[in-house]
Structure 1
Amino acid sequence: MTTAQSPRPVPKRSRARTLVPLAVAVWLVLEIWLLTVVAEAAGGFLVLLLLVGAVVLGAVVMKSAGRRAFRNLTETLQRQQNPGAAAPEEATGSTGNGFLMLGGLLIMLPGLITDVLGLLLLLPPVRTTLGRYAERSLERRMRAAGPGTLGDAFQQARMRQPDGKVVQGEVIKEDGTPAPRPEDEGPRPPLTP
């Protein structure tokens, strides 16, 4: 006796999934329109020079931010190994390397709007304000998520399976011959806890 399953309701499409593609399309159209306006006013060669210069400037910004982040990481690791060492003033606060790298990436993208946004991210007050906003937003979301750790989430996902246990064994066919070994089939991904 079979029972008919009721169809599952289709989940409502999120606002972000609707607006992000639209925003990207509008951004691309604006970038192309602005580049053509500047090319008509100043010439195509100047636009090409602007785009090449932006790529070079963005690469320099990203490289310096990456070096600073690596230097801060090594200083932090050295301080952890030598707890008595005093922390330099520069390393105690947030340096905003992530926003510097994002600014460099935005400058490297072809287009004048992204260049302006990237240049704004190079300004320390803008980076500080965005950093504070991102920190508050992250703290608010973490509090809303409730107690627990990432490991707890994996444990809960595993407990929802029928048994959650792994039993090691060997498959033997009905005629008594062993099944092909997994080693014969090639490499397999490692088991996770």
Structure 2
Amino acid sequence: MNPLVFIAWLPLIELLLLIAMAAAFGFWFTLAWIVGTAILGIVLLNRARAQLAEQIGARQGWRMTPPPQGLGMPGLLATWVGAVLLILPGPLTDLVGLWLVIPALRRLGLGLWLTRQAEHWANRRHGAGRVYEGEVVAQTESTRARITVVSERRPGDSPK
């Protein structure tokens, strides 16, 4: 599915999920969920901002103490995006936001995504590239003219 189509449909999906949530759990629970996740998102966003300022200050040498052993830049970015998603009303964005904010879930999701990407990268074929098999020879003036290609094949073809 095209991400832009999903983003265009996201408000309608969120509204339908909020209506279903209100029908299943009640209006007051749904309202408390929306307000609670928004407050949590604001608190996490402020905390991520403070940690980012500390890390930037430590890298710029504004203080002499070592940099904080916190989330690291990728973790701060994930926390920031997760906090923004928690501020947005809706169960789907709240679940994705919680997934990005909780480090164990983030590592699990990132690990699964990286595994799939590595498998995809390892299995894809480059039709435009060519592999030239041959042997490496020390080049001198007398051997420069004698270098020949042993065979030519495309990536993914079995070696001969």
The TM-score bracket by the shorter chain reads 0.5 to 0.7
Instruction: Give 1:112's aligned residue.
Output: 91
Aligned match of 1:40 in 18, 23, 31?
Answer: 23
Aligned match of 1:28 in 1, 6, 11?
Answer: 11
Structure 1 spans left out of the alignment, 5+ residues: 1-15, 137-193
Q: Which amino acid aligns with 1:96?
A: G
Aligned match of 2:32 in 49, 52, 65?
Answer: 49
Helix, strand or coil for the counterpart of 2:69?
A: helix
Q: Distance in 1 between matches of 2:104 and 2:67?
A: 22
After superposition, where does 1:52-71 map in structure 2 within 5 Å? 52-71=35-54
Q: Deviations over 1:142-168 (max 9, x none)?
A: xxxxxxxxxxxxxxxxxxxxxxxxxxx
- Identity across matched positions, percent: 27
Structure 2 spans left out of the alignment, 5+ residues: 118-160
Q: Distance in 2 between matches of 1:94 and 1:127?
A: 14
Q: Which amino acid aligns with 2:84?
A: L
* Greater than 6 Å deviation, 4+ residue runs: none
Question: CA 1:87–1:95 in 2, change beyond 3 Å: closer, same or farther?
Answer: farther
TM-score between the two structures when normalised by the length of structure 1: 0.50
Question: CA 1:33–1:66 in 2, change beyond 3 Å: closer, same or farther?
Answer: same
TM-score between the two structures when normalised by the length of structure 2: 0.59
Q: Distance in 2 between matches of 1:23 and 1:92?
A: 30
**Aligned residue pair count:** 115
Q: Distance in 2 between matches of 1:37 and 1:112?
A: 10
Instruction: Give 2:135's aligned residue.
Output: none
**Is structure 2 residue 85 aligned with structure 1 residue 102?**
no
